[in-house]
């Protein structure tokens, strides 16, 4: 009998404890309210152009309008909108990402109800219009990878993920350049240059953007003196004349193919010219072609390029 009383008392304690736990646990509606409250929390943030404001602590509906969309994907974030990144190596991940246009379509942005806009354009008028729709951060997509990823990690509330990604990328990059030199495929101190044609017979040398960012790694190729001046001027690229190729071209030349028939025609005419044929890189067979869409400096594409560059150079 005494044993039965003890069991009953113990059972009562468990029932009482369970009741207290249930009473302390939030209901489904309360949990939803707490989650919504957390998402609505904001904090101060000042972008690189000095725009000060409040951004969400945990942004969820992000529109990212910039060249380095793959930075977001590398951090495990998929924006709800961008400006249409066709033929990118991460295109298969974009089926549910809305195209907000380029230039950006304000009506579409408003329709998608973002809680944060990350924008690469520096036009003050556009910034002011976007800031009326949602908290807006002007972002420098030409900035070095480490700087971009660190800033994005901060903006998205994912600094630890950004730090880990950068450490992993640095290790892989160092290994790639080391193997290229040890195998004799490239030599220490070699220079490289990246060119592309745009419609209108306009020849550009690339600097702080795209493939150049990858090639001019600390352990990679060096820019030629004229390209270094463009880099020092903080420019992404610069329009040049064909006549300047002999002074600008490096030991290795990379040509970015575009989808424009007009630009392709200009490229083919260049390849037939005497100026082109007399370049040391051309004579040595150190010319490489890659689609411009697959030469971005975004984090996701750069990981892919760590595998692709050795293949290109080995040809």
Q: pLDDT of 254-275, one tens digit each?
A: 999 998 999 999 999 999 999 9
Top-confidence residue, 85 or 133: 133
Q: Which CATH number fits domain 42-157: 3.30.1490.190, 3.40.50.300, 3.40.50.720, 3.40.50.1980?
A: 3.40.50.1980
**Structure confidence by residue, pLDDT tens digits, 230-257:** 999 999 999 999 999 999 999 999 999 9
Task: Tell me which H or E stretch contains 305.
Answer: helix 299-314
Torsions phi, psi of 249, nearest 5?
Answer: -65, 140
Task: Tell me which H or E stretch contains 290.
Answer: strand 287-291
**pTM for this structure?**
0.83
Q: What is the mean pLDDT of residues 26-40?
A: 49
pLDDT of residue 21: 35
Top-confidence residue, 34 or 60: 60
Q: Where in the chain is the domain with CATH 3.40.50.1980?
A: 42-157, 185-314
pLDDT of residue 315: 80
**Coil, strand or helix at 219:** coil
**Structure confidence by residue, pLDDT tens digits, 103-135:** 899 999 999 999 999 999 888 999 999 999 999
Top-confidence residue, 210 or 9: 210
Q: What is the mean pLDDT of the chain?
A: 89
pLDDT band at residue 85 using 50, 70 and 90 as cut-offs:
confident
pLDDT band at residue 29 using 50, 70 and 90 as cut-offs:
low
pLDDT of residue 31: 46
**Structure confidence by residue, pLDDT tens digits, 182-237:** 999 999 999 999 999 999 999 999 999 899 999 999 999 999 999 999 999 999 99
Calpha distance 256→211 (Å, rounded): 9
DSSP of 35-99, one letter per residue?
HHHHHH-EEEEE-TT--EEEEESS--SEEEESTTTHHHHHTT---SEES--TT-TTGGG-TT-EE
| Token pair listed for 84 | 């249409």
Share of the chain above pLDDT 70, in %: 87
Q: What is the mean pLDDT of residues 153-178?
A: 97
Q: How far does Cα 212 stand from its chain's mean position?
A: 14
Given a cut of 60, is residue 36 above it in pLDDT?
no
Q: Which residues pair with 290 in a beta bridge?
A: 256
Q: Which fold has domain 185-314?
A: Rossmann fold (3.40.50)
Torsions phi, psi of 204, nearest 5?
Answer: -120, 145
Q: What is the mean pLDDT of residues 265-292?
A: 97
């Amino acid at each position: 009998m005494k044993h039965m009383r003890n069991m009953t008392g113990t059972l009562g304690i468990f029932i009482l404890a369970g009741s207290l736990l249930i009473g302390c646990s939030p209901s489904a509606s309360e949990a939803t309210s707490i989650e919504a409250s957390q998402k609505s929390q904001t904090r101060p943030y000042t972008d690189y152009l000095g725009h000060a404001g409040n951004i969400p602590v945990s942004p969820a509906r992000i529109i990212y309008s910039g060249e380095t969309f793959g930075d977001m994907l590398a951090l495990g974030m998929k924006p709800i909108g961008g400006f249409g990144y066709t033929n990118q190596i991460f295109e298969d991940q974009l089926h549910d990402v809305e195209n907000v246009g380029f230039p950006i379509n304000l009506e579409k942005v408003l329709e998608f109800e973002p809680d944060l806009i990350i924008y690469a354009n520096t036009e003050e008028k556009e910034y002011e219009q976007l800031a009326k729709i949602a908290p807006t951060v002007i972002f420098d997509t030409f900035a070095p990878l480490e700087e971009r990823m660190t800033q994005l990690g901060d903006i998205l509330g994912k600094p630890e993920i950004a730090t880990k990604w950068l450490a992993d990328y640095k290790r892989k990059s160092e290994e790639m350049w080391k193997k290229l030199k040890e195998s004799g495929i490239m030599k220490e101190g070699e220079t490289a240059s990246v060119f592309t044609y745009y419609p209108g017979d306009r020849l550009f040398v690339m600097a702080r953007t795209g493939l150049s960012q990858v090639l001019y790694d600390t352990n990679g190729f060096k820019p030629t003196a004229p390209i270094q001046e463009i880099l020092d001027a903080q420019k992404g690229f610069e329009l040049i004349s064909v006549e300047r190729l002999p002074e600008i071209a490096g030991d290795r030349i990379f040509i970015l193919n575009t989808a424009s028939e007009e630009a392709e025609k200009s490229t083919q005419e260049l390849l037939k010219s005497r100026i082109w044929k007399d370049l040391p890189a051309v004579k040595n067979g150190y010319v490489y072609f890659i689609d411009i869409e697959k030469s971005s400096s975004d984090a996701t594409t750069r990981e892919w390029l760590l595998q692709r560059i050795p293949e290109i150079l080995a040809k």
